[in-house]
């Protein structure tokens, strides 16, 4: 068992691009679920919209990269409006069902054979990240952190820099936004919608704003997802992505600025720790009753079990406050 390898890979994942992507996706959910109490189960759709906006604009139509970013932001606002209008007046589980359905619609459309020329079918799209990496401030080469314990190449370093700066930026904005009167209205809607309505606030409009902002942050996560891999593949944006983002959020603590950040880092550290650990144990014949192909399944079973146990025994996660989580909404 090479413990050095296991720990270095786990730490790399804890600060790596996966952590950034799930962190941003979970921050979006935090605005919607954590602060406002909206159950958006279609966050994957917003990531897909972000990723495919860049990919399609650059790879299919040959237009500039930043136009793709703009299109992604606009489309994610439109998608949020489209989902919000029919469902935000209804009970929580309707929004959940509609958003999960919308996420599947987006995924089925971008992977369809009929639109292969535009979206690339199940293979997805590649060759669109040149402009992004052309801005790279790191010269080509390998970079080691903590005396060689973990390391990334120059492309990885660029993704990390952009990603974590975005996370910090969004978090600081939200920190101030949630302390403002506007943020207090959102939290009040989570606690008692009718009371807020009685105070003369337009609940529907506030909920819609939360849905739009969370969706836009999701699209930003989608940008990073596509750019860090230089490819956009439809099946990465399945409903499971949304559920993992929820796990990240609940692990860190909903309705807390630090919740998604710590949640994402810890989630990916544990995921890769388990994965690399099991693979090492199997390769070194420490565990003989499993094979490497089963490791993925075990990883996901642990996530499912973790989500169940968290909600039963510690729904507030690491940082949260139990009274502040919208778990009784009907």
Partner 1 sequence: MRRAVIAFTAFLGGLIFLLASGPATAWADGESVKGTLKSQGQPVTGVKISVTDEGGKPVGDATSNAQGTWEVPVPSAGAYKITIDQSTLPAGVSLRFKDRSTLTVQVFEGNARNVLFALDAATNQSGEKTPDGTAADDESDAYWGRVAQLAFEGLSLGLIIALGAVGLSLIFGTTGLTNFAHGELLAIGAFIAFFLNTTLGLHLLIAAPLAVLIAAAFGYGQDWLFWGQLRKRKTGLVSMMIISIGVALFLRYLLLFLFGGSSQSYAQYTAQEGIQIGPISATPKSLVIIAIDVVVLVAVGLALVYTRIGKATRAVADNPALAASSGINVDRVIRIVWAGGTAIAALAGILLGLSQTVNYQMGLQVLLLMFAGVTLGGLGTAFGALVGSLVVGVFIQVSTLWIPPETKNVGALAVLIIVLLFRPQGILGRRERIG
Nearer to partner 1, 193 or 227 (CB): 193
Nearer to partner 1, 225 or 243 (CB): 243
Distance between CA atoms of 192 and 206, rounded to whole angstroms? 13
Region near partner 1 per CB under 8 A, out of 50-58, 66-74, 106-114, 133-141? 106-114
Among the listed residues 135, 200, 288, 293, the single contact to partner 1 using CB under 8 A: 293
Nearer to partner 1, 156 or 315 (CB): 315
β-partners of residue 231 are 126
Residue 148 in the binding site for partner 1 (CB under 8 A):
yes
Tokens 């819609």, located at residue: 208
Tokens 């810890």, located at residue: 266
- CB 58, min distance to partner 1, A: 25
Among the listed residues 114, 134, 137, 198, the single contact to partner 1 using CB under 8 A: 114
Show the site string, 237-276: x = touches partner 1 by CB under 8 A, - = not: --xx--x--x---x--------------------------
Residue 283 in the binding site for partner 1 (CB under 8 A):
yes
- CB 284, min distance to partner 1, A: 10
Nearer to partner 1, 176 or 313 (CB): 313
- Total binding residues toward partner 1, as defined by CB under 8 A: 67
Interface ranges with partner 1 (CB under 8 A): 2, 4-5, 8-9, 39, 83, 85-87, 89-94, 96-98, 100-102, 104-105, 108-109, 111-114, 142, 144, 148-151, 239-240, 243, 246, 250, 279-280, 283, 291-294, 296-298, 300-301, 303-308, 311-312, 315, 326-330
């Amino acid at each position: 068992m090479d413990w050095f390898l296991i720990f270095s890979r786990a730490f790399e994942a804890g600060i790596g691009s996966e952590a950034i992507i799930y962190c941003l996706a979970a921050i979006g959910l935090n605005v919607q679920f954590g602060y406002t109490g909206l159950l958006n189960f279609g966050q994957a759709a917003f990531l897909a919209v972000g990723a495919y906006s860049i990919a399609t604009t650059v790879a299919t139509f040959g237009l500039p990269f930043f136009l793709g970013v703009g299109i992604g932001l606009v489309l994610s606002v439109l998608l949020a409006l489209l989902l919000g209008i029919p469902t935000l007046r209804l009970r929580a589980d309707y929004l959940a069902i509609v958003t999960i359905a919308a996420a599947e619609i987006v995924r089925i459309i971008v992977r369809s054979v009929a639109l292969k020329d535009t979206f690339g079918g199940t293979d997805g799209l590649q060759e669109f990240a040149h402009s992004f990496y052309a801005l790279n401030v790191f010269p080509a080469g390998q970079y080691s952190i903590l005396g060689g314990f973990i390391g990334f190449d120059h492309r990885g370093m660029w993704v990390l820099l952009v990603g974590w700066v975005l996370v910090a930026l969004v978090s600081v904005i939200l920190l101030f936004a949630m302390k403002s009167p506007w943020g207090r209205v959102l939290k009040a809607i989570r606690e008692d919608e009718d009371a807020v309505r009685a105070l003369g606030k337009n609940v529907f409009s506030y909920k819609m704003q939360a849905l739009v902002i969370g969706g836009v942050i999701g699209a930003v996560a989608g940008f990073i997802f596509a750019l860090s891999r230089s490819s956009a593949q439809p099946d990465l944006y399945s409903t499971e992505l949304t559920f993992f983002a929820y796990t990240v959020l609940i692990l860190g603590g909903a309705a807390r600025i630090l919740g998604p950040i710590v949640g994402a880092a810890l989630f990916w550290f544990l995921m890769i720790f388990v994965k690399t650990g099991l693979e090492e144990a199997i390769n070194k014949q420490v565990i003989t009753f499993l094979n490497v192909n089963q490791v993925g399944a075990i990883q996901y079973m642990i996530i499912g079990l973790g989500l169940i146990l968290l909600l039963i025994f510690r729904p507030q996660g690491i940082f949260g406050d139990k009274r502040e989580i919208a778990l009784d909404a009907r």
